[in-house]
Amino acid sequence: MFLTLTALVGEPRHGYGIVQEVERLSGGRTQLKIGTLYGVLDRLATEGLVVLDREEAENGRLRRYYRLTDDGAAALEQEAARLAENVRTATARLRARTVTS
Amino acid sequence: MTLLEQRYRNVLKLLPASYRAEREEEMVAAFLEAYDAPDETGPRPPWGEIFSVAALAVRVRLSWRPRGAAWGETVRLTALFGIGLQAVLSSATLMSALADPLSDRLYEAANLGLAICWLLAFATLARGAVRPARSLALAGLAFTVFQQVAITLAFGDIAFESWLGTTSMAVVAALALLLGHHGGSTTPVLPWLVIVPAMAVGLVYYVSASVLTSGPAPGLDESWMWIWPWASGEGVAALLLTVGSVSALTRRPVHAPAALALGVLGLPLLASRLPLLLDHQFSQAIVISGAAQLALLGVLVPALWVRGLRAMPSSGREDPRAVL
């Protein structure tokens, strides 16, 4: 969910666009399956963190673009702060370990 | 349609039809952007994609539980309200049987039997004892049907009003009690401070009806004609349903199971009031008063259904398009 929300920061994206962006953000470590992606989008939409931005037809295929809501941005910011705190804690302990050894 | 698309659509059939109607085209488009391949290579959706769709299918189906639970509560409240109504009517029947015993002992016994069974059925159900409530409600229903059959045979005329009204409502309530409670369901327990006054409403009804029918005041007959559609068992049911409906419809947010339970019970009641208009033997006062009651129920019952269905919890998965 964190990576999906991050992928939607800046611009609305359609399903495969989110898959590509998540893969890029994770350095290729996370490859979202389509079923997984729509499960995540359902949950984010239910919680009001993303909404449908627009629908387009591309080569006769339906594309729905999703965008981050203000609540979604706030949730992402909160999660980012939590992860940053974890990183700070881990970094501080590693520094302390280096000093004592 | 390419072979890969056809095969992926087959995989998507794991999902509920309603979900596919909403998402299939979008998912196919996203999948084909990622995996499109010519038919000659005999492409198949990767196992990872198949598993992700299977997992989504399980999640979507499980997320329907909130709605299923709300329907279960609707059935249980239908039983509680329906049996509560029978208890109110039974209080009046019991008072009447004790105060003015009938000469026909069999009919009198049936009267007493149904009153005691419905009163005890409501008390036990409201206290959370479902099993004895079921037996008592079934016994009460048997007495009620016996009484209706006896009346029909005695007068040689089918009392459509009672068959369609309180008797049908008793059948609906008993069925709801049989179907709505199971091992996993929660049974609310009402305090006696709520149960006893609810049953005492029948006493108020009995006393009011006695006063109205026993007074020698001039012109009483005409007044009684206006009140009559509200004073029979179905009339009291209509009055209670009106009070309950106004309470359910003005509550914010609307409690969907309560509104729908009243809506379910309102349907047979609505049908029971039609003979008032169709039977030409009734006086003009009864027909006008009955028509007003029918109009009131005709507004309230559909409103209960509409508001109740709208307030039902979603399947746990909001349609993202709804916010467009």
pTM strictly above 0.80: no
| CA dist., res. B117 & res. B62, Å (int) | 40
The DSSP annotation for B53-90 comes to HHHHHHHHHHTTHHHHHHHHHHHHHHHHHHHHHHHHHH
Q: Is the pLDDT of residue B45 over 70?
A: yes
Nearest to B33 among A16, A42, A45 (CB): A16
Q: Is the pLDDT of residue B50 over 50?
A: yes
Nearest to B318 among A37, A46, A58 (CB): A46
Contact between chains at A34 and B60 (C-beta distance less than 8 A):
no
| CA dist., res. B311 & res. B6, Å (int) | 38
pLDDT tens string B84-123? 999 988 888 888 777 776 667 777 788 888 889 999 999 9
Give the domain ranges of chain A: 2-100
Q: What is the ipTM of this complex?
A: 0.87
As a whole-number percent, the residues of chain A with pLDDT over 70 amount to 99
Of the CATH numbers 3.40.47.10, 1.10.10.10, 3.40.50.620, 3.90.230.10, which one belongs to the domain with range A2-100?
Answer: 1.10.10.10
| CA dist., res. B269 & res. B249, Å (int) | 18
The angle at the Cα of B96, spanning B92 to B97, to the nearest 5 degrees, equals 120
| CA dist., res. A83 & res. A86, Å (int) | 5
Q: Is the pLDDT of residue B17 over 80?
A: yes
* Type of residue found at A75: A
pLDDT tens string B110-160? 888 888 999 999 999 998 888 899 999 999 999 888 888 877 777 766 666
Contact between chains at A34 and B31 (C-beta distance less than 8 A):
yes
Enumerate residues 6+ apart whose C-beta is below 8 A from B245.
Answer: B259, B262, B266, B300, B301, B303, B304
Contact between chains at A52 and B54 (C-beta distance less than 8 A):
no
Is B265:B194 a contact under the CB 8 Å cutoff? Answer: no
Q: Is the pLDDT of residue B316 over 50?
A: no
B213: confidence class by pLDDT, cuts 50, 70, 90: low
Is A22:A32 a contact under the CB 8 Å cutoff? Answer: yes
pLDDT tens string A65-92? 999 999 999 999 998 999 999 999 999 9
Parallel/antiparallel/unpaired status of strands A50-58 and A61-68: antiparallel
